[in-house]
Amino acid sequence: MLPGSIQRATLFDPNTRVRKGIESQPSIRATNLSHFYGTGELRKQVLYGNNLTVYPGEIIIMTGPSGSGKTTLLTLVGALRRVQEGNLSVLGQPLEGASPSQLVDFRRNVGFIFQAHNLFEALTATQNVRMSLELTRPDQSIRQNTKDAREMLDRVGLGNRINHKPKQLSGGQKQRVAIARGLVHNPKLVLADEPTAALDEQSGRTVVELLQKLASENQSTIVIVTHDNRILDVADRIITLVDGAIRSDALVKEAAILTQMLAKCSIFERVTPRTLTRVADEMTIERLPPGTQIIRENDPGDRFFLVRSGSVSVRRGHPEHEIATLGVGDFFGETALLTGQPRNASVYTREETLLCSLSKTNFQSAMAESASLETEIREAYFERK
Ligand SMILES: Nc1ncnc2c1ncn2[C@@H]1O[C@H](COP(=O)(O)OP(=O)(O)O)[C@@H](O)[C@H]1O
Ligand SMILES: [Mg+2]
């Protein structure tokens, strides 16, 4: 068991978290987001048509090779760079075309923790942290700001370093000052680029637990770019960026939620919880835009599907007419797998939909277990008679 997982269990009930997330307005929504550096012949594309939706309270970990565009994406989300192509709405503010004063207001709600921590050498730890409050809470008294800054330093384990200047601090201590500065104003969105890179295991853990606590108390959204495998367990989702494009977007606690959803599907009624957990693990999940065709009438069936979020339209005939709509927790595609007949309808997404699916082989092995269970029950029944 990973350190911190006990806290996670109490703070991060994955079911309430994800359900809450899906119902609320996203805190980050990127649509077809691309980015280029340079102009003319030197113009180079570094982000390619990325789509991303993040909900309040989610902790996202972004990984990927060096140069894949993680920092670029993070700085776009934090409005430190202008959106060039695509749409990006963060904390309800469309960033493309936002006015300078809208951007100033916007950044007050964001906490930045960057690799190059840029502390002011002439200022003490307290003053460095307090500066963030002076920018984000201009109406609060210096006295209160000082108190809040000291409390925050205490929380990152620097209570005994509050009057030290950066050059009197170790690399790890400086990074913790930078973290305190990024979190002191309780931002709605925290963007952290390799925040634990310079920290030992214990300090790294303290920092990510602080981030977790903030996310759960304030419903803050946290995006952490990291290569640090020791902290992956804090994530609700792990996003992998490769060559400027999001390759995978996995919900970490998804298997537990899926197991509960599968347990409610009538066809899995007789499958044991252990098999359901295995089935959930074997399911793949994908995010589909509205209007995507998932299966086509008369095609052979090769997968079983479960709607994780969003909804789909089931249509039949020529011309096609809708015979049903299916929503969260509904499943489809089982008939062709059970009977070996071709698909008896076409299915399309009606909106952006998270769709889980299971290969035919995995589906059939789960069903085989269910059948043997049924046989067992029947036999037990007849034996008793
Ligand atoms: N200011 C810049 N000017 C030109 N190219 C840049 C600039 N910043 C980053 N790049 C290039 O953009 C690509 C993505 O960089 P970056 O977003 O920093 O990736 P990562 O954070 O994943 O390492 C890299 O090829 C990098 O060399
Ligand atoms: Mg980077």
For residue 22, pLDDT over 50 is answered with no
Among 228, 252, 276, give the residue marking a domain's end: 252
| CA gap 336, 342 in Å, rounded | 6
**Residues 283, 216 share a domain:** no
> Residue 20 has what pLDDT?
37
**Residues 52, 14 share a domain:** yes
Among 230, 252, 274, give the residue marking a domain's end: 252
For residue 217, pLDDT over 60 is answered with yes
Q: Which of 16, 91, 2, 84 is nearest to 50 (CA)?
A: 84
> If you average pLDDT over residues 237-253, what whole number do you get?
82
Residue 21 in tokens: 């997330």
Condensed to tens digits (0 to 9), the pLDDT of residues 136-163 reads: 998 999 999 999 999 999 988 899 999 9
pTM (predicted TM-score): 0.66
Condensed to tens digits (0 to 9), the pLDDT of residues 65-121 reads: 899 999 999 999 999 999 999 999 999 999 998 999 999 999 999 999 986 568 999
Nearest ligand for residue 194 CA: 2
**Residues 185, 36 share a domain:** yes
Ranges of H-type helices in the chain: 5-11, 14-23, 70-77, 100-108, 125-136, 142-155, 171-183, 201-218, 254-263, 273-282, 334-339, 360-384
> If you average pLDDT over residues 313-330, what whole number do you get?
94
Q: What is the CA radius of gyration of the chain?
A: 25
For residue 19, pLDDT over 50 is answered with no
| CA gap 326, 317 in Å, rounded | 18
> If you average pLDDT over residues 45-62, what whole number do you get?
93
Range of the domain at 190: 5-252
Position in ligand 1 atom list of the atom nearest CA 66 = 23
Å from CA of 34 to ligand 2 middle? 17
**Residues 210, 108 share a domain:** yes
> If you average pLDDT over residues 312-334, what whole number do you get?
94
Å from CA of 214 to ligand 2 middle? 24
Condensed to tens digits (0 to 9), the pLDDT of residues 329-352 reads: 999 999 888 888 999 999 999 998
The CATH number given to whatever domain includes residue 141 is: 3.40.50.300
**DSSP element (H, E) containing 59:** strand 59-63
**Residues 268, 171 share a domain:** no
**Residues 63, 205 share a domain:** yes
Domain count, the chain: 2
> Residue 259 has what pLDDT?
80
Å from CA of 185 to ligand 1 middle? 29
Task: Using the Cα atoms of residue 252, residue 253, residue 259 and residue 260 in order, give the sign of their dihedral.
Answer: negative
Highest mean pLDDT (candidates 41-45, 57-61, 168-172, 257-261): 41-45
Among 225, 252, 279, give the residue marking a domain's end: 252
Ligand 1 binding pocket (C-beta < 6 A) is: 37-38, 46, 64, 66-72
Task: Using the Cα atoms of residue 357, residue 360, residue 365 and residue 370 in order, give the sign of their dihedral.
Answer: positive
